Amino acid sequence: PTILPTLSPTEAPTISPTKLPTLSPTKAPTASPTMLPTLSPTNAQTTSPTKLPTSHPTGTPTALPTELPIVSPTHMHTASPSSNTVTFYVMSGDDEYGGRTSALQRGLRKLDNQNGEWLVHLGDILDEKSSCQENEYENFQSIYSQSAVPVYTLPGDNEWKRCPNPDQAWGYWEKYLSNLNTKFWGAPKQYTVQRQSSRNENFAFMNQGIQYVGVNMVAGPIDNRMEWADRHADNLAWIEQNVNDNFNNIHAIIIFGHAGPCCDRVDAPLNILDDEFFEPLSLKADEWKKTTIFIQETNNKYTWSWQSNLEGVSHFWLIKVQSGIWPPMRIEIERTANTIQFDQNGIVRKAFMNKWID
């Protein structure tokens, strides 16, 4: 819909409403109504306005339309989406505003909660050289509790695997970041969030034909080989469980995780990530025959990136979110048009659910 008023509306308001309402209106119209407006209109509205338009409506728009166009467009979506449109945000990293906590809080409070429905943080809430003190996790919770939309958190290696004491760090993560979406925001009305019983950090929900799944996928040093294997197996089982439960109603699958397949990080155990998770997942994606998108953090501080045909499967895509910047990536899914759009840092890509448009 256009924002500016029409120049020649079919029904124009009266130019000058009467000063006072009639005390005893008759049922019959006046025999000779005046064609001229009153000379000195007041700010008062008539209580019994005529239903007839003026005989000579003006061709000039009102000076102050009810919806003024924006002078400087923002990163936020201002149009009214249809019921088939879903918009959400994804981000990662620890320094979105150069360490300016107050600016980040203001940004979170200004997220468009009319059109954006939630925010997923992919992890690395701390710098890789952090000593992983408890107050750092508590501070993250305090800052992101200001968000206008619910925040779903996933762990990164900087606040867990790279910490001096990974077990202690994981305890802090569970205390302050686990189930963050339930601590400061009410339960969503459009969908029901599920948590994996054996791994509470993994979440899933189904919304308007899209199956969303968040899994604990981190890089970093291998401190416990068995833990890595078990975690990857749990992640695959969680994704498969949710897809199978909703298969007939699923149009596409979007999976969130911190680390991606080879070769995003030079020091990550890439063969383990690929062999134990991404290769089995690609086989499932090929079997499902539904667009499957994995969204992860990228080490690139300057741009985000996209890749189709992941692991040789045409409808298996990889999206790498630029870390440490604001605003977050904005993703909009339009079911009627069968499109998905990614927008971050001035770079916008739009795709059909089964192929890229450009």
What secondary structure letter does DSSP report for 196? E
- pLDDT value, residue 300: 75
SS3 of residue 231 by DSSP: helix
What does the pLDDT read at residue 271? 66
Sequence-ordered alpha helix ranges (H) in 250-331: 270-273, 279-288
In the chain, alpha helices (H): 101-109, 134-144, 166-176, 180-183, 225-246, 270-273, 279-288
pLDDT digit string, tens, across residues 28-86: 444 444 444 444 444 444 444 444 444 444 444 443 333 323 223 333 333 334 568 89
Residue 46 DSSP class? P
Q: Supply the pLDDT for residue 358.
A: 40
Helix (H, G, I), strand (E, B) or coil at 87: strand
| Residues 354, 355, 356, 358, CA torsion sign | negative
Phi, psi of 105 (to 5 degrees): -60, -40
Cβ pair 253, 288 in contact under 8 A: yes
Query: Quick check: 261 and 310 in contact, CB under 8 A?
Result: yes
- pLDDT of amino acid 96: 66
Predicted TM-score (pTM) of the model is: 0.75
Tens-binned pLDDT, residue by residue, of the chain (358 aa): 434 344 344 444 444 444 444 444 444 444 444 444 444 444 444 444 444 444 444 444 443 333 323 223 333 333 334 568 899 999 999 866 666 788 888 999 999 877 789 999 999 999 888 999 999 999 999 999 999 999 999 999 999 999 999 999 999 999 999 999 999 999 998 899 999 999 999 999 999 999 999 999 998 888 888 999 999 999 999 999 999 999 999 999 999 999 988 654 444 455 677 888 999 999 999 999 999 999 999 877 788 999 988 889 999 999 999 998 899 999 999 988 889 999 999 999 999 876 544 4
Half-sphere exposure of 219 (CA within 13 A, CB side): 23
Q: Measured between alpha carbons, how far is 16 from 18 in angstroms, rounded to an integer?
A: 6
pLDDT tens digits along 160-180: 999 999 999 999 999 999 999
Check residue 270 and give its pLDDT.
Answer: 53
- Residue 59 has what pLDDT? 46
Cα 86 to the center of its chain, rounded Å: 8
Would you give the distance in Å from CA 27 to the centre of its chain? Answer: 56
